[in-house]
Chain A
Amino acid sequence: MKESYNRAKIMNHIMTIVFYIVAGFFLLLLVSFAGYVIIHGFEGFHISLLSFDRNGIGNQLFNTIYLVFLSLFVSVPIGVLAGIYMAEYAKKNAFTTFIRICIETLSSLPSIVVGLFGYLVFILMTGSKWNLMAGAMAVSILTLPLICTVTEDALKSLPKEYKDGSFGVGATHWQTIIHVLIPASMKRIMTGVILAAGRGFGEAAVLLYTAGMSTDINWTNWNLSSPSCPLNPFRPGETLALHIWSSRTEAIMPNAAQIANFSSAILMILVFAFSIGARILGSHFDSNSSSRKETKIDKEPVQTLLQSKY
């Protein structure tokens, strides 16, 4: 009896140590991975790496941000509205389950498959060349389910009293959504949008056959219809992630490896900044939610509701 008790205790200690080692090892791995990418990327940094020509990644950086911006233009409205439908109007039946399965399917599609779909629909069927808009549309297919689910969760997690209060003063369901529920869950929706943007920065496989792998920008040309105008969404544009991919084989540039290292570092920093930003916003929401419940939200939307003209 005593022996087995001791054995169990020793086993417990051993396993605790094992868990500490495994966890420590992986934390170390992740931290050193991030550290290596960022430090190595800035090694031998020269200002020309940021230049807007073949030696730098200025153009690619601009393309990346512009493309994510364009994709959010498509995915945020549709995603948020679909999320509202799922949270507020969808009835609890087989059809809604079916939509949910569709959303899940979309969110787990391999990005290369979405890329091929985008290539087929936005490039081949429209008869155009590789362009940023097609890339943005393809990326928005990937981020759509994320934004939709986040919106749905945000709306569903609101206290029931918000709705009751709004209905009580005579608002319709839609008015309640627009004037009470959406403002109250704005922060969480924003968190989702930021996460989606972070995901968009890193996408590469999707863009291989949609946004293309070339960039030809003339920064003095501001004629929107010209293919070399930076803001023309219908020009080909290589993003940072694709630039890393292409420097794997590109031996034309002597500093291709260094550019790729630097691009990785910038990409990492972008993604970190966005996910930490989303986190801070999210935790702000969590810590404030209890106090917000009583003061700000409960009164404000209902007041605006009462003051509005209807």
Chain B
Amino acid sequence: MFKNGMFQKEYLGRTIVTICGFFMIVLTFFIGIFLVYKGSGTFTKYGHSITEFLFSSEWDPADNFTGGGKVGAAIYIFGSISTCMLALCIATPFSIASAIFMTMISPKLGKRIYRPAVEIFVGIPSVVYGWIGLTILVPVIRDRMHQGFGFSVLAASIVLAVMIFPSITTVVADAIENVPKEYIEGSYALGSTRWQSIYRIIIPTAKTGVLTGVILGLARAFGEALAVAMVIGKMRAFPKNIFSPTSNLTAAITSDMGGAANGGEYNIALWTMALLLFVISLLFIFIVHFITRSGEKHA
């Protein structure tokens, strides 16, 4: 009787929540295992080497089950890296400046208007960014700047930069707010100006937070599919300059997955790309962990 009562009062609920907690692990592993299972087919079933996939630029997988095509994804990988890096170069300085503005220069304005506005923009659907990029940015690059078709690395980078700007800004602002007040007051007491205490005290102290924000932004940019696919031009060639079209990993997956026969070499090669994206996002998480841990050690 007592046992039965305890079962209802404690053990049942406890078991259910524990199962749900374990489910998170199961789900993550499931996703990982399926991606590895599907994605490794390029190397095991169709016998390509990893170096070919990563560094060769000859992309011509056969859309059948015998294989024999070429699966060099270097163009796509380079497309992903170049657009993300350029986007990061555009967004990071502005993000840091905005974060400093809303925490240090004008905390009142920052708290009431700037921060809410930026945070709301974190949630804007990426397709909308892509659509605006397609209808405004691409024509501007094509007609005003007279650069090719307008679909370009630059257009993709700007779309990504606007997209990741809010994410980076909020993380960096949080990091700056966590800088102990004594540090700032101490530097003021020694007679430094606000700018001096920003770049001598606050930025160095909030360094780990800033890096975390940048990497989270990078992770988001890397995984973005549709917004980039809309403006990058999807041309299978290395970009000659920032105005020329190219393609990237996510754009290739979105556009070609539907047409390729399930289990064929083409299809499996696209799965390998998805596996690569998964591995990269894991890598970013480990970098973030590494940064925060080493940051804690120093502090």
Interface residues of A (CB under 8 A from B): 8-9, 11-12, 15-16, 18-20, 22-23, 26-27, 29-31, 33, 36-37, 77-78, 81-82, 84-86, 88-90, 98-99, 101-106, 108-114, 116-117, 119-121, 124, 141, 144-145, 148, 172-175, 177-178, 195, 198-199, 201-205, 208-209, 241-242, 244-245, 248, 257, 260-261, 264, 267-268, 271-272, 274-276, 279, 310
Q: Hey, which chain A residues are within 8 Å of B106, CB to CB?
A: 20, 23
B179 within 8 A of A: no
Is B17 engaged at the interface, CB distance under 8 Å to the other chain? yes
The answer to whether B125 touches A267 (Cβ under 8 A) is yes
Q: Give Cα A116 to B29, complex, Å.
A: 15
Query: Which 9 pairs between the two chains have the least Cβ-Cβ distance?
Result: A110-B223, A202-B125, A85-B21, A12-B193, A81-B20, A23-B101, A174-B13, A102-B28, A85-B17
Q: Which of B114, B128, B131, B281 has the most CB of A within 10 A?
A: B128
A12 to B, closest residue via Cβ: B193
CB closest chain-A residue, reference B105: A19
Contact A12 to B94, CB < 8 A, known contacts A29-B162, A205-B225: no
Which of B41-49, B53-61, B235-243, B271-279 faces chain A? Answer: B271-279
Query: Does B35 sit at the interface, judged by CB under 8 A?
Result: yes
Verify B131–A260 contact, CB threshold 8 A.
yes
Q: Which residues of B contact A257 (CB under 8 A)?
A: 135
Q: Specify which chain B residues have a CB less than 8 angstroms from the CB of A198 in the assembled complex.
A: 123
Residues of A within 8 A of B271 (CB): 116
**Which residues of B in the span 191-244 have a Cβ within 8 Å of any Cβ on A?**
192-196, 198, 216, 219-220, 222-226, 230
Number of residue pairs across A and B with beta carbons under 8 Å? 242
Whether B187 sits at the interface, judged by CB under 8 Å, is no
Instruction: Tell me whether A202 and B196 are in contact (CB under 8 A).
Output: no
Q: A15-B198, A27-B113, A106-B27 are in contact. Are A99 and B21 (CB under 8 A)?
A: yes
B166 to chain A, nearest CB (A): 8
Shortest B286–chain A CB gap in Å is 9
Contact B10 A16 (CB under 8 A): no
Collect the chain A residues with CB atoms within 8 Å of residue B164's CB. none
Given the interface contacts A23-B114, A89-B17, does A208 sit within 8 Å of B24 by beta carbon?
no
CB 8 Å contact bits of B269-299 with A (1 = contact, 0 = none): 0010010011001101100010000000000
Question: Is B178 an interface residue, CB under 8 A from the partner?
Answer: no
> Are B195 and A241 neighbours in the complex by a CB distance under 8 Å?
no
A23 and B166 alpha carbons, distance in the complex (Å) = 12
Q: List 30 A-B contacts (CB under 8 A).
A: A8-B196, A22-B98, A23-B102, A81-B16, A81-B17, A82-B20, A85-B17, A89-B18, A99-B25, A101-B285, A102-B24, A103-B28, A105-B28, A106-B31, A108-B281, A109-B281, A113-B278, A113-B281, A141-B27, A172-B10, A174-B13, A175-B10, A195-B123, A202-B127, A204-B125, A205-B254, A209-B257, A271-B120, A276-B120, A310-B9
Given contacts A8-B196, A106-B24, A264-B131, contact A279 B230 (CB under 8 A): no
- Asked whether B134 lies within 8 Å of A22 as measured between CB atoms, the reply is no
Q: Is the interface of B mostly helix, strand, loop or mixed?
A: helix
Q: Which of A33, A90, A116, A271 contacts B162 (CB 8 A)?
A: A33
B142 at the interface (CB under 8 A from A): no
Q: Which of A77, A105, A279 contacts B282 (CB 8 A)?
A: A105
- Measured between beta carbons, the chain A residues less than 8 angstroms from B29 are 102
Contact B274 A113 (CB under 8 A): yes
Supposing A31-B117, A82-B21, A109-B31 touch, asked if A204 and B98 sit within 8 A by C-beta, the answer is: no
Residue B87 at the A interface, CB < 8 A? no
In the complex, are the beta carbons of B20 and A85 less than 8 A apart? yes
Tell me if B123 and A202 are in contact (CB < 8 A). yes
Q: Which residue of B lies closest to A175 (CB)?
A: B9
Task: Given A12-B193, A90-B21, check contact A248 B126 (CB 8 Å).
Answer: no
B34 an interface residue at 8 Å Cβ cutoff? Answer: yes
Return the CB mask of B230-266 against A: 1 if under 8 Å, else 0: 1000000000000000000010011001100010000
| Known interface pairs A11-B195, A208-B254; A275-B123 also in contact (CB < 8 Å) | yes
Known contacts A110-B250, A244-B131; is-contact A124 B262 (Cβ 8 Å): yes
Bound-state Cα–Cα, A36 to B230, Å: 19
Q: CB of B108 within 8 A of chain A?
A: no
Identify A112's interface contact among B16, B134, B225, CB under 8 A.
Answer: B225
Decide if A36 touches B132 in the complex (CB within 8 Å): yes
CB of B94 within 8 A of CB of A26, answer yes
Tell me whether B281 and A12 are in contact (CB under 8 A): no
Q: Mark B159-177, 1 if CB is under 8 A from A, else 0.
A: 0001001100000000000
CB-based contact A108/B123 at 8 Å? no
Q: Which residues on the A side are within 8 Å of B198 (C-beta)?
A: 15
Determine if B146 is an interface residue (Cβ-Cβ < 8 Å): no
Contact present for A82 and B223 (CB under 8 Å) = no
Task: State in angstroms the CA–CA spacing of A245 and B222 once bound together.
Answer: 19
